[in-house]
Amino acid sequence: MRLVDFTPKRARVPVAAALLALATGCGDARSGGAIQRGTLVRLADGLVQGTVQGGARRFLGIPFAAPPVGSLRFRPPTPAIPWQGVREANAFGPACAQTSSIITPRSENEDCLYLNVWTPDPAPSRPLPVMVWIHGGGNNNGSANDPVPLGLGGLFYDGRQLAETRDVVVVSINYRVNLFGFFPHSSLAAEDRGDPHSGNQGLLDQQQALRWVRDNVAAFGGDPGNVTIFGESAGAFNVCFHVASPGSRGLFHRAISQSGGCTTYLPTAAEAEARSQAVIDAVGCGGASDVPACLRDVPVARLLDYAGESGPIVDGRVLPAQPRALFARGDVEKVPWILGSNSDEGTFFLLGTPKVTTEAEYLASLRGFFGDRAPAVAEVYPASAYPEPQDALARAYGDFLLVCSTQDSARRAADAGMPVYLYNFSRPIPLAELAPLDLRATHGAEVAYVFGSVPPPTEEDARLSSAMQGYWTRFARGGDPNGGGATPWPLYDPTADPRLDFDVEIGLVSGFRERECRFWRGVYDDEFPTGDGVAAGRGRP
C-alpha cells in the first residue's frame, strides 16, 4: 500500500488540504470533534479519502500504529506516524506475516497494522454504536480481509451491511499473529526495565487499535463511549482476554465472543520460553551477545519456517494472572457479554485428517488427541451412540475445544456478576458444494449470518441473518439483545443453563450438553490442581 509523504513528527495539514476539508464538511482538526460528512475525513494523524458503497462510506487501510519493522519487531506497538496530504483509504492493508492456511495465503508483510471503517452514508446526525471486529485464525493466521470462513459467500468481513441497515459504525483490525505477535523471551522483556514483559504483542496491537478507535471514531459518526468488541474463534478468545486484561479497561463497553472463551489453562511466560528459545537457536541467534538485535536481522521468511503454534500467555502485564483467576477475583471488565458456540464445531478441525470408520480407529484418534484421558472421553462419547465413529470424534473434540470451554467462561463471567447471554448456532451450512464434507453447523458457520453474506440467501437464511444482526446490534446499542419483537433471550444462569438456539426457527434451550460439559469442566479444573488459577497443572490433554 502506498504511503503518502509520511513524516516522523506530527505535520501540519497544508492550507489547500485544510480548505478542501472545510469545503467537504471536515471542519474539526481533532477526531474528537463533530461528525464529519462526505468521504474526506480528517483524523488526528492526517486526512483520509474513502469511498461510498450503497448506503455506507468505506475507509480501508488506515494505519493505527507505526509499522512494527526493524527495531520495532517484537516490540509493543507505537502510535501511527502522521502523514501529510490526503491518504487514499480504498484498499485493505496487507495481512500480517504468516504461513498459508485454509483461508489466508502466505504473507511476509510486517508492515500490517491497519484497520478499516464502515459508517452510514449520509453521515449520521448523532453518534452511533461502534462494533470492532477481531478476526480469527488461531492467533497464527488471518486478517481483516479474510473471506468469511469456508468461502461462505467468498466475502471478507464486510461491515457494509451492518453500517447501512443497522446504524452502527463497524471497524475491523489487523494484528500481529504467530511468533511475530506472540513471542515471549526474557531477552525481549529485559529491553524495558520499567515494564519487563513480552509475549503478547498481538494483544497489545489490539489494545492500540482500540485506543485509535477511542481517539478517532467520532469523526466517522461513532460513539467512543459505546464500543463493542466482537470476534470469532481466536478473535473470540481475544475478546475474552480483553475482558480480563487491565490494559483494556475503559476501551470497550460490551463484548461478543463467537466460539471461544479464555478460562482454560494458559501457558506462563516461563513455560513458553523454551519454545521461543528453540526458535532463537534454530535461526542462529542462540549465541548472540544481543539476542533481540540478532532476531531483528533474521529475514521474515526464515522466521516463518519456525512459526509453529503461538498464542497469548500469562505474561504478568497484559494478563497478570490466569484469566480464570481474574474472573474468580472479579478483577475483570464487568461489561455485558454475549458468548456462544456452534453445534458441530469439531467437523472443521478434522478437515484433511483420515476419516475414522471403526471403533479401534476412533479410540486411537482419541489417544492422539487426549492421551491418557482417551478411555474417559470414550465413555462420555461412545462411538455406538453416534451414526459413525467420525461423528463421535468430531463431537468430542469440538466440545472440548470450544463448546464447553466457551460455556466455562460464560459460567465464570456470570458468577463474577456480569450480564451474560449464551447462544448455540445450529444451522447447517447451506452450500450444496460443501455438502460432501458433511460439516453441518461447523466452526465459523455463523459468521456469514452476522455480516449478512450468506450466498445466495434463501428466505429462511435471510430471516436468520436478519435476526442475528438485530440481536447483535441491539446489544451493541444498549447492552441487551432483546427487543424488536424478537424471541426473548434471557440472561444466562449457570444453574439452569438457558441459551438461545439459532436455526431456521429460533428457540430457547437449557441444559445443553450438560453431561459432556460437566466432564470437560473437570478436565479444565484439573489443570489448576492448587486452585489458585496460576500454578501449572498436571495431566493436561
Active site residues: 233, 345, 443
Bond into 122 cis (ω within 30): yes
Q: What is the DSSP string of 77-104?
A: P-BPPPBSSEEE--SPPPPPSB---SSS
- Grid cell listed for 444: 465459523
3-state secondary structure 148-212: CHHHCCCCECCCHHHHHHHCCEEEEECCCCHHHHCCCCHHHHCCCCCCCCCCCHHHHHHHHHHHH
Query: Distance between CA atoms of 413 and 417, rounded to whole angstroms?
Result: 7
Query: Distance between CA atoms of 214 and 247, rounded to whole angstroms?
Result: 14
Contact 293, 265 (CB under 8 A): no
Greatest Cα pair distance in the chain: 76
Ramachandran region, residue 390 (left: φ > 0; alpha: ψ -120 to 50; beta: rest):
alpha
Helix axes of 389-398 and 359-370: crossing angle, nearest 10 degrees? 20
Backbone angles phi, psi at 256, to 5 degrees: -135, 120
- Grid cell listed for 319: 494478563
Query: Distance between CA atoms of 95 and 108, rounded to whole angstroms?
Result: 8
Query: Distance between CA atoms of 82 and 416, rounded to whole angstroms?
Result: 42
Query: Distance between CA atoms of 257 and 139, rounded to whole angstroms?
Result: 15
Query: What's the half-sphere exposure (Cβ side, CA atoms, 13 Å) at 106?
Result: 8
**Radius of gyration of the chain from Cα atoms?**
23
SS3 61: strand
Listed in sequence order, the residues at least 6 apart from 49 whose beta carbon sits closer than 8 Å to its beta carbon are 39, 40, 86, 87, 88, 89, 90
Contact 278, 185 (CB under 8 A): no
Query: Distance between CA atoms of 138 and 99, rounded to whole angstroms?
Result: 12
